[in-house]
Amino acid sequence: MTAKLKVACVGAGYFSQFHYASWASIPEVHLAASCNRDITKAQVTGLPAYDNLPRMLAEVTPDVLDIILPPIAHAETIRAALDAGVKTLVCQKPFCQSLEEAKDMIELADATQATIIVHENFRFQPWYRALKTALTENKVGTPQQLTFRLRPGDGQGPDAYLARQPYFRGMPRFLVHETAVHWVDTFRFLLGDPEAVYADLRRVNPAIKGEDAGYILFDHPNGVRALFDGNRNLDHSADNHRRTMGEALLEGTEGTISLHGDGSLWLRKFGTEETTCIQPADTWDGFGGNCVHHLQSHVISGLLTQTPFENDAADYLRVIAIEEAIYASAKTGQKLKIGPP
């Protein structure tokens, strides 16, 4: 029997619950320890708890370190892990605080023959995997445009985000840096790298520091356009607004596919009114169609079979570069071309 891969985690905030539950459910994984600067939160996980990362790394010697921390802590944590000899790191998005910092971390990892995988999980949501299959099978003919309307409804009022992720409130770059990057990556997964971008961003809730609404228009290859229409103050029709966080529409010459708030996909052929369900409503446990588990299972499979990772950090640099172009477009009011990868 092959020995299990030893996984340790650093970070025990709100979203980490999905990471811990997923690792614990993967048969090939031994979830070994948790580290958090407030050790009481690490202790809640029921794992051996630490408040000193170098000590945990030295005592546990994990095969994989899962970094479940905000961007401000990424570089320091990555350096500590590489110094301790960890060869596989999974790091939450947004990855690092800037493109330059991200490049520095990748260079350090390359120098020690380590791999960093960015925990960008939205492309692993079952409805987007099904949408990719529909595109491959030509179910809408030639695609012309894709729209996603972000409507989580969690951004209103003076107490917005305090209950779950209070650090959101102080982020100078919020809607794009924290949230829309999910769809930058997902649009790339579905349509290929964009060639140009135009953005109009704004802040609706004065209680927070960064932008929380806006439009981002992407020019993808072959004349396809994608629109991210985001507003965290508004909601959509769903029993759980955090499942899909909004609604999508993929339109082509031979049909249209709609993503509903329950996670289902519906195909309407061009010139007809009848719709057919091509992806049933969400029945998966966990966040966003259990996308955290799907990503972490993908990582373990890649390590065991030596197959490529979809979202290694070097590839994710493209997402960061697109994000920078989005903010530059919003500042200048101009559509900006994005160079080749």
Q: What is the pLDDT of residues 252-261, one digit of tens each?
A: 999 999 999 9
94-130 pLDDT, tens per residue? Answer: 899 989 999 999 999 999 999 999 999 999 999 999 9
Q: How many CB atoms lie within 10 A of CB 12?
A: 26
pLDDT score of 246 more than 50? yes
Q: Could you tell me the pTM of the whole model?
A: 0.93
pLDDT at 63: 98
43-82 pLDDT, tens per residue? Answer: 999 999 999 999 999 999 999 999 999 999 999 999 999 9
pLDDT score of 232 more than 50? yes
> Among 168, 239, 216, which Cα is nearest to 338's?
216
Domains of the chain, with CATH numbers?
5-119+293-309 (3.40.50.720), 123-279+319-337 (3.30.360.10)
pLDDT score of 2 more than 70? no
143-165 pLDDT, tens per residue? Answer: 999 999 999 999 999 999 999 88
Distance between CA atoms of residues 321 and 261, nearest Å: 30
Q: What is the mean pLDDT of the chain?
A: 96
| Cβ within 8 Å of residue 218, ≥6 positions away | 187, 191, 194, 196, 197, 225, 226, 227, 228
Mean pLDDT across 284-289: 86
Mean pLDDT across 10-29: 96
pLDDT score of 1 more than 60? no
The distance between the two most distant Cα atoms of the chain, rounded to a whole number of Å, is 64
